[in-house]
Copies of this chain bind each other. A is one copy, B any other.
Amino acid sequence: MSLRIAILIFDRLTALDAIGPYEVLSRLPGSEVVFVAKEPGLKRTDTGRLGLNADAAIADVRDPAIVLVPGGEGNRPLMLDDEVLDWLRGAHETSTWTTSVCTGALVLGAAGILDAKRATTHWAYLDRLRELGAEPVGERVVEDGKIITGAGVSAGLDMALTLASRVSGETVAQAIQLGIEYDPKPPFDTGSPDKAPPDLVEFIRSSEG
């Protein structure tokens, strides 16, 4: 059985937001990942240093089983783009799972998909998520019905493995985790605002936003 997974990309996206989940979800049995954009073609990341190709237009991928919206400063214009928001609302109506990583949740919020839903985003954007009608939760992976949201950037790996276990069962998800050798050993313990020194938290907060 084919499992169509649409990952929405755009200029100035954060690459790892999309590629972490891609690496997990593309290994699901029957999965058929497609990178989509408003216009197909090469999208440059937020650093300008990498081009990722959108193989299809959103208009041509109307009913994916899973839809994923990554983050990156380039997704703010999408929050005002009726074609993209209409596509997301339509995809969400028929999807099995609607997901985001990092500030991708802001686009889901702008589409009205997170109204009164528990959701997460990059830690520096939790307040903005509330302004968009969601109930922000400072956890790494948040599930509310068929909506699964991941926190900042690297959290897409944990979100996608959680999703993999929902879609294909725990054994498949565990095999994927072993295949990508996801046994993390970060050299520091500064990956969340609760753990990092306050001056680093302020530094990152002021450079985001």
Residues of A that sit less than 8 Å from B by CB: 14-16, 19-20, 22-23, 26-27, 32-35, 42, 47, 49-53, 55, 102, 122-123, 140-141, 151-155, 157-158, 161-162, 165, 170-171, 173-175, 177-188, 190-193, 195-197, 200-201, 203-204, 207-208
Contacts and interface: CB of A to CB of B under 8 A. Distances in A.
A52 B55 contact: no
Contacts of A204: 175, 178-179
Residue of A22, A27, A175 contacting most chain B CB atoms (<10 Å):
A175
Given A26-B47, A140-B185, 4 more contacts: A16-B22, A35-B50, A154-B157, A175-B190
Nearest to A52: B52
Contact of A191 (B19, B35, B178, B207): B178
Contacts of A183: 140, 186, 191-192, 195
B203 A184 contact: no
A174 B204 CA distance: 11
Given A179-B204, A200-B171, A49 B35 contact: yes
